Each structure stands twice: as C-alpha cells, then as structure tokens.
Structure 1
Amino acid sequence: MAIMSAQLIFSLSLVFLVSGAHMATISITNNCPYTVWPGTLANAEHPQLAETGFELATRGTKTLNIPAKWAGRFWARTQCSGSFTCATAACGSGQVACNGKGAVPPASLVEIKFQSDDGQDYYNLSLVDGFNLPVAVAPENGSGSKCVKATCSANVNAACPASYK
C-alpha cells in the first residue's frame, strides 16, 4: 500500500496523498509569473475528475480529490483568451473545462497512476506532446528510493531526466 503526497509545479507543482483504497488529494501550484489554466484527462476506463479545467493565478494552489485507483494526466494551458483559445496546450473545448479532451501539443504532461495492480503509485513527466512549461512532481510522505522529486525545467526533446517514478 502506498502512502504518498506530492506537489506538481507548472513551473506548476503537484502534491498527492494516497492511503490504501481511499481517495487521493492532489494540490497543483502555479509558480509561473502569469495565470495558467490546468487541464485534466483520465485514462480510458477511469472517471473524469469533477473539474477537468480551471484557472490558476500566479502562486495560486488548487486541491483536487482523486478517486482510488485513478490514472490520468495533468497539464497547463497558457495565454488563454476570453473565447477560450489558448496559445499552448489547449484542449479544444472552447471553455475552461476540457470535458474529456486532451491537450493539443505542445504540452508538458504530468502522468499519474494511483494504486496500480501492484498497489503502488506511479508518476512521470512527459514531453511526448512537446514542451510548454517547466513541471515538477514533489512527493511528500512517500517511501522508497524512487519516491523523489521529478522535474523537467526545459525542453529536452521528449524525455526529462529522472522523470519516471
């Protein structure tokens, strides 16, 4: 059973806390000097979160409740207009909520799988869809040698060093 908390940074951060077969909590912090609009997308066969997109001001933090055994991704959209078109990582919904739509590249991704088949939690940073913002996941109260902060602070051509945990 994994018990962990982490923080996601676009220069956003994510913190997650999991306990047994219970709900997890993720805190997303915007460390950018401008507003971002994080988006969420559940993996197939997992429920979408109650909020699939929201506005997050500079130094703002948003906490989300995540169902047990959930898997999905997070990213942040930038320079979004009143008609909700974004310069990067738009989800094509034309609104703040992404409603089951993923990010249009470029988008720095944080992927998380809570309580996988082996009972562990996994997270990684991915630039497979390009790079639009620095991201980090900083676990708290986790255990094991792989429960460490993962960061991707620059465009490194689709792979962040130490990004898989």
Structure 2
Amino acid sequence: MTFGTDKSALHYYDVSLVDGFNLPVAMVPVGGGVGCGSAACEVDLNVCCPSRFEVRKGGRVVGCRSACQALKTDKYCCTGEFASPKSCRPTLFSTLFKSLCPRAYSFAFDDSSSLRTCRASRYLITFCPPRR
C-alpha cells in the first residue's frame, strides 16, 4: 500500500504488488468528490503464487514475492536497461497478478491503471476485505 501527498490538496494512493503480496487489502476514500476510486487487491494471491515466489512459514504460504524479489533481474525489477516505461513492460507474472487484482500496481510502470487521486481527507483501509 502506498499513500502520499505533496503540499497540494490532491492525494495520490495505490495498492502495489511490485514488491510482493501477503494479504488482501482495499483503500477507499471517504468523500472527496467525483473520480475518487478505490485501490485494492481483494483476492488471496497466495493460493496461486508460483512455488519459487512463495514465502512459507509453518508449512504454509504466508506471502508471495514479486518476480523482482524472487528472480532479481533487471527485466523483472525495471532496472538497468529496463528502467523506463518504454523498456519495462508487463511480464507473464505481472499480467497474471493484474488479471486477479486490476486495481493494484502489478509492475513498476503500471501508473495509468493503478495510481488513484482524490481530494478526500479520510480513507478507509480494510485488511482482508470481503470479495466483491
């Protein structure tokens, strides 16, 4: 989850899978006017996590590393020669996660479909929200 603002009244917020996943979450602005949408990943991605990405504890999957964290290559981390929106494109893994969580960042340059803005002064953050 990322929540940030500069000195303006407009807030920027998102839910991100760029560094991995551990539990479903939703961020919903309270008020704020037209155009304020929710940022969320409301499904448990741990159940479809590729085995080499799994974070295990007590014999069960408790988290799912991102492709960057698991594979540590420039291609998956959007670094080095892949450090721009033109060269860093969605991968098989980010596309899979995006299909399950369309309102969450799935790779570093996923701004156009995942970054939310709003003028709300309050936000409801729900961990493990019910699926819509």
Of Structure 1 and Structure 2, which has the larger fraction of its residues in helix?
2
Tell me the TM-score normalised to structure 1 length. 0.28
Of Structure 1 and Structure 2, which has the larger fraction of its residues in strand?
1
Tell me the TM-score normalised to structure 2 length. 0.35
Structure possessing the higher radius of gyration over alpha carbons: 2
Higher relative contact order (CA 8 A, sep 6+): 2
